[in-house]
């Protein structure tokens, strides 16, 4: 016969099957014995205390993490450092939003653990594994996981445990798992997303340059470049400054056609303008306009494209720009690009990225070969195995990082694009 404490664990760690059994079982538990205690407060919250190491050797915290991984529609993880990621649990197939942040202070995070995470992540989410750079402002020290479950309830685990083998098996650790309100969940999400804007994408190139812990304590860092594993210097002076000035003037002239182009896209997205008619209208507006960035290749692939689909995707992004955070909008862009890729739409690359770059110049770059070559020279390639949408978001985050690291240089991505083209052509 199982004890009450064993019964708690048996119920709480049931696998996600898309129904409400987990929620019903957890609500039915009002108290527990030994090292586990469930209680509800005045807001009907359920809370579980997770103390380690447990007397019977069970991995209660690991099982709680496994439940989060297997039952989440949205998942946010922030850990001061990561030395072990050995889960065999697949991320819930219904998970559409994820951010995984790890600290890099003192080189404690281990490369092998990061590689394990990259193998574990699905293709569409590989660009959402991020490193928090060391700064003089203070250490990155959280240990929190928050998720929206398939039960449509909001959950959180917070406490003393980093993502290490010792924390999950050997150490004396104290954590709590609890149901939280939508407001509290949104507060955690915004906090993580705000930090993520300053992070670097973790991929093979990042790992090549990351230095694991040495025996000497590193000095504190003060600049926006120091403390970042990959440093992206941007050439300046002379012809590069001229390229920025020229692009700035040309980009300003996009204002001559932006509303007309938006109107045409809305008509096409609604179905009141045919694909062929949109293509002709787009050519009239853009073909010889000075704001145009890319060359002649578009005319080959675009003539018979599904413009209705492309315009709907573009408008979905542009219309959300003022209401969504940078990280949330990145997620929308990733999803839309992956949908266009699945449909085989030929304008998802050059055309889509250029129009995005015009309408959201601080967020999204032009997808062009010189940019890829420049990043390769900087030893920062795309993570293999990523979806098209995830690869593009990874590129956007890298180039935003380059602008942050080079104050006084390009102010936005069109200007950085001009510098890169000049550098690569020379």
- Other residues' Cβ atoms within 10 Å of the Cβ of residue 416: 26
Position 19 scores a pLDDT of 39
- Residue 129 host element (H or E): strand 129-132
Residues 75/145, Cβ–Cβ less than 8 Å: yes
Provide the Cα torsion 22, 24, 27, 30; round to 10°: -90
| Those residues with Cβ within 8 angstroms of residue 299's Cβ, 6 or more apart along the chain or in another chain | none
Q: What is the domain partition of the chain in residue ranges?
A: 4-209, 239-425
Could you give the count of Cα atoms lying within 13 Å of 38 in the half-sphere of its Cβ? 20
The CATH T-level fold of domain 4-209 is Endonuclease; Chain A (3.30.870)
At 284, phi and psi to the nearest 5?
Answer: -60, -40
Max CA pair span of the chain? 80
How far apart CA 114 and CA 144 sit, in angstroms, is 18
Pairing of β 97-103 and β 72-79? parallel
Give the angle subtended at the CA of 377 by the CAs of 374 and 379, to the nearest 5°: 115
How far lies 277's CA from each of 87, 292, 304, 358, in Å? Answer: 52, 20, 11, 22
Crossing angle of helices 388-405 and 326-343, rounded to 10°: 140
User: In which residue ranges of the chain is pLDDT below 50?
Assistant: 1-43, 56-58, 215-218, 220-223
Alpha carbon distance 165, 84 (integer Å): 6
- Which pLDDT value is given to residue 188? 97
| Burial class for 123, CB neighbours closer than 10 Å (0-12, 13-18, 19+) | middle
CB contact burial 345-371 (16+ within 10 A = b; e otherwise): bbbbbbbbbbbbbbbbbebbbbbbeeb
Sequence-ordered list of residues with C-beta below 8 angstroms from that of 387, at least 6 positions apart, any chain = 123, 124, 126, 334, 337, 338, 341
Residues near 105 by Cβ (< 8 Å), separated by ≥ 6?
A: 80, 81, 134, 139, 140
pLDDT at 239: 93
Helix and strand tally (H, E) in the chain?
17, 9
pLDDT in tens, 204-249: 889 988 999 864 444 544 445 556 777 778 888 899 999 999 999 9
Q: Is 412 left (phi over 0), alpha (psi -120 to 50) or beta?
A: beta
pLDDT in tens, 150-188: 999 999 999 999 999 889 888 899 999 999 999 999 999
pLDDT of residue 299: 65
Residue 63: predicted pLDDT: 87
pTM strictly above 0.95: no
Polymer length of the chain: 426
CB of 159 closer than 8 Å to CB of 50: yes
Contact 4, 32 (CB under 8 A): yes
């Amino acid at each position: 016969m199982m004890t009450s404490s064993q019964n708690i664990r048996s119920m709480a760690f049931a696998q996600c099957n898309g129904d409400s059994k987990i929620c019903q079982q957890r609500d039915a538990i009002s108290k527990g014995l030994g090292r586990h205690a469930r209680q509800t407060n005045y807001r009907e919250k359920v809370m579980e205390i997770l103390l380690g190491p447990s007397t019977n050797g069970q991995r209660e915290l690991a099982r709680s993490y496994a439940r989060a991984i297997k039952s989440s529609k949205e998942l946010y993880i922030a850990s001061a450092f990561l030395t072990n990621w050995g889960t065999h649990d697949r991320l819930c197939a219904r998970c559409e939003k994820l951010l995984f942040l790890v600290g890099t202070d003192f080189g404690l995070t281990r490369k092998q653990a990061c590689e394990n995470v990259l193998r574990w992540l699905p293709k569409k989410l590989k660009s959402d594994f991020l490193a928090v750079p060391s700064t003089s402002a203070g250490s990155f020290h959280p240990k929190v996981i928050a998720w929206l479950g398939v039960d449509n309830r909001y959950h959180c685990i917070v406490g003393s445990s980093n993502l290490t083998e010792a924390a999950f098996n050997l150490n004396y650790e104290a954590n709590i798992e609890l149901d939280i309100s939508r407001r509290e969940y949104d507060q955690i999400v915004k906090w993580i997303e705000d930090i993520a804007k300053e992070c670097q994408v973790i991929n093979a190139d990042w790992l090549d340059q990351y230095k694991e812990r040495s025996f000497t304590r590193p000095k504190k860092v003060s600049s926006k470049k120091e403390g970042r594993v990959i440093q992206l210097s941007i050439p300046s002076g002379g012809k590069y400054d001229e390229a920025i000035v020229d692009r700035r003037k040309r980009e300003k002239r996009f204002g001559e056609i932006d509303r007309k182009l938006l109107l045409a896209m809305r008509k096409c997205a609604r179905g009141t303008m045919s694909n062929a008619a949109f293509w002709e209208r787009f050519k009239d507006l853009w073909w010889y306009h000075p704001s145009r960035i890319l060359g002649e290749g578009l005319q080959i692939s675009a003539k018979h494209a599904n413009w209705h689909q492309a315009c709907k995707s573009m408008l979905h992004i542009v219309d959300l720009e003022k209401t969504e955070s940078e990280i949330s909008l990145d997620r929308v862009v990733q999803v839309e690009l992956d949908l266009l890729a699945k449909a085989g739409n030929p304008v998802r690359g050059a055309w889509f990225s250029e129009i995005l770059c015009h309408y959201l110049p601080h967020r999204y770059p032009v997808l062009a070969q010189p940019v890829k070559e420049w990043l390769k020279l900087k030893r920062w390639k795309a993570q293999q195995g990523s979806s098209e949408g995830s690869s593009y978001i990874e590129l956007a985050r890298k180039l935003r990082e380059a602008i942050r690291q080079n104050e006084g240089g390009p102010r936005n991505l069109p200007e950085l694009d001009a510098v890169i083209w000049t550098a690569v052509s020379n």
